[in-house]
Every structure is written in C-alpha cells, then in structure tokens.
Structure 1
Amino acid sequence: MSRTAPNRRSVHRALSALALLAFTAGAVTACSDHAPATRPSPSRSAAAPSSPGTRQAGGAQLHMIDNNGHRLAFYVTRGNGSTIVLDSGGGEYSSQWKDIVPRLHAATGATVITYDRAGLGKSDVVPGPWKVASAVSDLKAGLGQLGVTKDVTLVSHSQAGEIANYFARDDPEMLSGAVLVDANLPPFFTDEEIPRLVAATRPEVDAAEKDPDKPENRQLISTAEGFAAAHRAFHKVTWPDSVPATVVVSEKTPFDTSPEDARRWRDAAAEFVRRAPNRTLVTAEGASHEVPTDRPDLVLKEIEDMFAAQH
C-alpha cells in the first residue's frame, strides 16, 4: 500500500536536532537575523543582569551569558516579578517573537525573555551535534545568571518543545505554566514514526556524506546517526502533573502533504493533553506549522490566558 512521504522542509522545521543542523547546511531558509523589537518598561525586573546589558532597538537589553565555554545571547524586556520565556522553533532566532514581545509585555507587565540558541543569532557556534541536554543546560544557565529562579511561563515552538519537556521534568518548581506551540511532544516519537522522520531527511544526509569534512556536514551526519536513539529516549519523557500546559496544534501540521503523519502529529498532541486534567488543547485553524507567524493573535491570547490563570 502506497503512502505519501512527509514534506521534507516541514519535517525539518519540526524535528529537533535535524531541523537545526539542516538549517545550518542551507536546507531550511525560514529565519531572520535581526534583534527582537521590544519596548521598555519602567517596572522593576525580576531578571537581574549577570553583566551589563546592551540596549537593543525597541527597549530589550542584550545579555551575553557564559555556559560551558560558549556565549549565548539573551534579550530581556524588563517587567515585574514574573517572567515569560519565549523559545523559538528549529533554525529560528529570537526575532521569531519580535512582534509578540512588545504586545505581551504591555498586556502582562511581566519580564519577557527571548534568546538565541547556540549557533544561531548572536550566540556562539558549538562544535559537534545538537544535543537536547546541551540546549536545556544553556536555557537553565541563562535564566540562572539572569536571576530567574521561579514563576516562569515557558512558551515553546516546534523544536523547543523537546527542551521544554526536559526542562519541566527536571525543574518543575521553576514553571508556573507552559504554552507549547505546535511543539515536539513525546507521544509523537514512536518506534513507527521515527523511521519515517529519518527517511524524510535521508536525502540531505546522503548529500552531506559526499563531503564529510565540511563542518556543517559532519554535524548533520553525527546528528542523523544518533537521532533514533535520542528520540526513543524523548518518547519516554513525562511532563510533570504539577505544571499546567496549553498545547496549540496547527491545523495543517508540519506534515501537510502526508495525511498519515499529520494524523499522528494531532493524535500525539491530544494524547499529551489527556494525560493530566490541567492541560488544554487548542487548534490553530488555518495555520501552518509556523503558528507564531500565521496566528500571532491566537498565540498571544493563549500566553496571556495561561499567565493570568497562574497570577
């Protein structure tokens, strides 16, 4: 029986490690390189800088955070004692949230933080394959050095869903709630689905293997080799019942050319929500996987609602 293969470009945007490294290799071209546009607030910030911040256009301050020998760019729009962290999708910079940050800050009064993951934006490149443990460490280090230790509303798109799940599992006391925007979720990465995802990215890996000495190709090859094991482990991660979550799933999903994979994506979101009574499922009608761009008003509303429910 024939089946439709997942759209490779959409798959890259949804996968974690492969999404990031395929972007570096030029397989994905859906990000921008400018700093997030935000505006200042006279309120006191919960995020005390670890080093003098550099004022960016619109009011956010850039703080360069050190972690394990590399530096990461964190952008802080100062507010009151609560913090909202916006974590971008695979291959995206902090600027993915540039239109949402000022509106969110104005609506909630909270400190709003965005950042560039390693190898993107103003953050240093880290050699070797992308690893979710390293990404979680970077986020924790940034928040810790900025003085953020509790009352965080975490908003995660796509790839960042993996970071969010490990972060919540390890440090649930830091989170007051989460909004997972068409995010990678453990129930999706089954033994049946993982081989399909690997197959969808195989052409890029094959191309990289023709020039294995090229740095980005070495990274892509290394990550592809470990992808299945990493995501079998991710499949077993459990979100803590103490942290409420809103799951926003796009109508088109990352697999708009593959009904089977699209169904599995939606089913995984529904399964994740069913596992605890403090989780809500929202469908972003008409939206592609790029929900923050396609439906910014919806994303803003769900963040505001989650924030209000916890304060």
Structure 2
Amino acid sequence: MNGPGERFVRLDGRALHVRAEGSGPVCVLSAGLGMAWFDWEPVVPLLAPHRTVVRFDRPGYGLSAPGRAAPTAAGEADRIARLLTALGLPGRCTVVGHSLAGFHAEAFARLYPDRTAGLVLVDASAEPCPRPRPAPAARDLAARAAAATAGALALPYLLGPPGRRLVAALSTVGRTAPAPAALVRRSYRPTRALRAALRENAGYLDVAAELAALRTHAPLPAVPVTVLAADRGRGTRAAARWLTRQRELADLLGAAFRVAAPAGHLVMYDRPDLVARAVLDGS
C-alpha cells in the first residue's frame, strides 16, 4: 500500500496501479490517452460518500508497469473485469470512460453485461465509420521504437512533465490541471508513459473499428447510459461539429445526452460536479 486504498495488482505478470476508496455501489473511472489516475481527483470527493470509486492506471501510465501486448478494446475490457475480481468486487459496476477510454468502457459494457450497472462516456472518442489501418504489428513496433529512441535521448525525462502540464492546460477552460508536481514528475519522466501513449495512438483507429464490429453482435445491457460532452462555449464550427458527433454517439447507444459547459476536454477538472452527477444519476 502507498496510501489509503492504494495498491498494485498483478495482471499478466505486470503490476497495475489502482486506488479504491469510498463505499457503496462500485464505479470504475478510466482516463483518456496519456492521462493518469490523479486526473480524476476533483471528482472522487463528490463520489466517494456514495460509491466505491476505483481508479487505475493502464499499463505504462501513472505508476503501472509497461504492458506487453498492443492495446485492444476487448483486452482493456478484460483488464477492467479482472481488476475488479482481484479487488474482491465481482458484482455490477458503473464504468466511466474519458476520451479514448470511452471505447474501453463501452466494450466492457458489451462484453460483460452481467457486470455492468451503468455506462458514462465523458467527452469520449467517437468515430462514425472507423476502419482498421494496415500493418498493426509494424505500427506498434514503430511506436515502441520511437519511444525507445526518445528515452535514449532523455526526452521524456526532460520534456515529459512540462509537456504533460501544457497538454492539461490546453485541455481545460481554466488553463490549469492542478496535479501535484511530484506525481507528474514520477509519472511522466519515465519512458513508459510516452511508450504507452504512442502505442495507444498508433492503434486508435484499430480499436475504434474493433468496437464498431463489436456493436453489431454484442448489444448493450439494459442499463442507464450517459454521454457527457464538453463545450467551451465559444460557438465555433469545430465545437459544433464535436457536439454533433457526441449527440450522434448518444443516439447510437440510446443514451442520455448532456453538455458540460464551460468545459474543455478534461471535463473532470472544469466540471467535476457534472461528471459526478452523471455517475450518480445513472447508477
């Protein structure tokens, strides 16, 4: 244990960092590409009095060890299921996916319907007609090689924390994401975080296409589903297109559609109240 409710669970021989706190029905929070467990910190105090809140770092992110296999929707759904079992939480849960992790959360709901109490997608990735790209193994190898080269040049050590702070600032209305500096350094100086991000990015359309195929034969369970979309309130064409895409995702899933405004992509920092409300109302 490194803190209250904090531990490492071994899955596939690798240490996965996880935090579990609070009491009541279980909800699982999974952050987007390049993000870590502490990005949910503003939401947890609003949920923990009512829910058992589980946060974890996918392989390579935060404090988790690097993964072996390239990321897939089914693999990430299975990871969530096995993590809950390892924590002694075998029942139903509300699964919450932010950005890219929306693919993983939806895949969990479709592949593990008997373990799903609700689904919340927070400014989730949405691809209307995704097609897998050729040579996935070669692309994954290239991503790992690029990360290794960057690591040999000490680029993650030098640029990882400031790069993380810049991305977070650009993804919030307040231009800040107040993660503790020590945690940011510990999580983003190692090459493993860059490698994880490059691998997830390289396989992004493959995972989107995998989920699209899954939708054709694995229906969602009859549980509450919410799509929560971020809107900075600028009224730009790009913002309108994004909200349209999010509404289309909600229609596709038969989900309730809500808008978090004003909020950047890291909705959990700008509007933690609306993220918590979506979870509590939908479970």
The question of a shared fold, defined as TM-score above 0.5 by the shorter chain, is answered with yes
Partner Cα distance (1:257, 1:208) in 2: 38
* Displacement over 4 Å in runs of 4+: 207-227
Structure 2 unpaired stretches of 5+: 134-142, 153-190
Residue matched to 2:157:
none
The answer on 1:296 being equivalent to 2:276 is no
- 1:247 to 2:247 alignment: no
Q: What are the within-5 Å matches in structure 2 for residues 1-311 of structure 1?
A: 54=1, 56=3, 60-80=4-24, 82-106=25-49, 108=50, 110-127=51-68, 129-185=70-126, 188-191=127-130, 208=146, 226-238=203-215, 240-252=220-232, 259-260=237-238, 262-275=239-252, 277=254, 279-307=255-283
CA distance in 2, matches of 1:55, 1:230: 33
| Contact 1:129/1:219 (<8 A) preserved | no
Q: What's the Cα RMSD here?
A: 3.5
Task: Give yes or no for contact 1:189–1:234 (8 Å, CA) kept in 2.
Answer: no
Between the aligned partners of 2:29 and 2:148, the Cα distance in structure 1 is: 37
Preserved CA contact (<8 Å) 2:35 2:61: yes
What amino acid is the match of 1:101? Answer: V
Do 1:129 and 1:220's aligned partners in 2 also have CA atoms closer than 8 Å? Answer: no
Task: Output one character per residue of 1:219-246: Cα deviation in whole Å (capped at 9) or x when no partner.
Answer: 7776666544443333333250512211
SS at match of 2:48: helix
User: Gaps spanning 5+ residues in structure 1: where?
Assistant: 1-53, 196-204
Matched-pair contact (CA < 8 Å) for 2:60–2:67: yes
CA separation in 2, counterparts of 1:208 and 1:286?
A: 36
Report if the CA contact (8 A) 1:128-1:219 is conserved. no
1:85-125 CA-to-partner distances (Å, cap 9, x unmatched) read 1111221111111222122112x1x2111111111122111
Q: CA deviation at 1:212?
A: 8.9
Whichever structure has more helix as a proportion of its residues is 2
**Residue identity opposite 1:99 in structure 2:** P
Kept in 1, the 8 Å contact 2:17–2:56? The answer is yes
Separation in 2, partners of 1:295, 1:129: 32
234-243 or 93-102: which moved more?
Answer: 234-243
Q: Which amino acid aligns with 2:237?
A: P
Distance 1:78 1:244 in 2: 22
Paired with 1:145 and 1:240, the residues of 2 have a C-alpha distance of 24
Contact kept? 1:128, 1:222, Cα under 8 Å: no
Q: 1:178 to 1:76 in 2, by over 3 A?
A: same
Secondary structure, in 3 states, of the residue corresponding to 1:236?
Answer: helix
Instruction: Count how many residue pairs are aligned between Structure 1 and Structure 2.
Output: 232
Percent of aligned positions with the same letter in both sequences?
A: 26
Letter in 1 for 2:16: L
Question: For residue 280 of structure 2, what is the amino acid of its counterpart?
Answer: E
User: Partner letter of residue 150 of structure 1?
Assistant: G
With the length of structure 2 as denominator, give the TM-score of the two structures: 0.69
CA distance in 1, matches of 2:199, 2:252: 34
What's the TM-score once normalised by structure 1's chain length?
0.63
1:152-174 deviations in Å (ceiling 9; x for gaps): 11122112101111111100111
CA distance in 2, matches of 1:90, 1:219: 8
